[in-house]
Amino acid sequence: MLKHPAHLVALGFGSGLSWFMPGTFGTLMGWLLYVWIDPYLDGNQWLWLILIAFAAGAVCCQVTGKALGVIDHGGIVWDEIVAIWLVLFVASNQFSSPEGQLACVVVFRFFDMVKPPPIRWFDQNWKNGFGVMFDDIVAALITLLTLATYIHFVQ
């Protein structure tokens, strides 16, 4: 993890090194970082952070995947971190409580693990650092659509 700075980022500062469900641990790390960083950033700053983290993540995931010999290695969790930031940021008005944020995390993990279409297509066909990042962004967008549907019909 410490042989290259890209590995530290791609492996989620160590959260991806879990032997059990590393993607979930990466998502939980993303949630923790969101809660820690959120008081210091406004909306525009969050958007810039997510965009920069996505772009840097594409490079870091490519470098780390190549070093590990598997482009979308299970330990690479920066994609989960950035995607859950997007979900929590966009859903922050309706799901700002800890329980609401937990709901965001659970719905995101469901879509990221099950990978329904179109997530599965991107996961299977885009085999590079950008693809590693992008399929989780698609999962985040489907999560947000699901949460919006819930708000519209239930609340």
pLDDT per position as a tens digit, 109-154: 999 999 999 999 998 899 999 999 999 999 999 999 999 999 999 8
Task: Give the domain ranges of the chain.
Answer: 5-154
> DSSP letters of the chain?
--SSHHHHHHTGGGGGG-SS-HHHHHHHHHHHHHHHHGGG--HHHHHHHHHHHHHHHHHHHHHHHHHHT-TT-TT--HHHHHHHHHHHHHTTTTS-SHHHHHHHHHHHHHHHHH--TTHHHHHHH--SHHHHHHHHHHHHHHHHHHHHHHHHHH-
Look up the pTM and report it: 0.95
- Does the structure show a pLDDT above 90 at 1? no
Answer whether 136's CB lies under 8 Å from 83's CB.
yes
